[in-house]
């Protein structure tokens, strides 16, 4: 049986898929960079902001894409 947390996630996930996804193409990567920029504008320097964790997740997704796909970063 699905836990209550998974049920909540299942209900809200369709609304989040446009901002939380693994990028597989340059256009998706650029879209995530825009999402991160917007999140930085919203969160600012506020360490306790409710979206800090989302900002970190988006950052990790961007970093993973860059590690695998951006040549100048791959050679450093």
pLDDT in tens, 14-40: 999 999 999 999 999 999 999 999 999
Given a contact cutoff of 8 angstroms between Cβ atoms, the answer to whether 62 and 33 are in contact is: yes
Tokens of 4: 């209550």
Whether the pLDDT of residue 76 is over 80: the answer is no
Burial of 37 (0-12, 13-18, 19+ CB in 10 A): exposed
The count of structural domains within the chain is 1
pLDDT recorded at residue 75? 55
The predicted model scores a pTM of 0.84
- Return the ∠ at Cα 33 (arms to 46 and 36), rounded to 5°: 15
Confidence of residue 1 (pLDDT cuts 50, 70, 90): low
Count of alpha carbons within 13 angstroms of residue 26, beta-carbon side: 2
What is the domain range of residue 50? 4-74
pLDDT recorded at residue 72? 76
């Amino acid at each position: 049986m699905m836990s209550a947390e998974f049920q909540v996630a299942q209900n809200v996930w369709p609304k989040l898929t446009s901002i939380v996804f693994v990028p597989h193409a340059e256009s998706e990567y650029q879209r995530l960079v825009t999402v991160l920029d917007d999140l930085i504008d919203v969160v600012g320097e506020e360490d306790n902001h409710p979206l800090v964790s989302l900002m970190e997740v988006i950052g990790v997704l961007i970093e993973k894409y860059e590690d695998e796909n951006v040549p100048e970063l791959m050679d450093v």
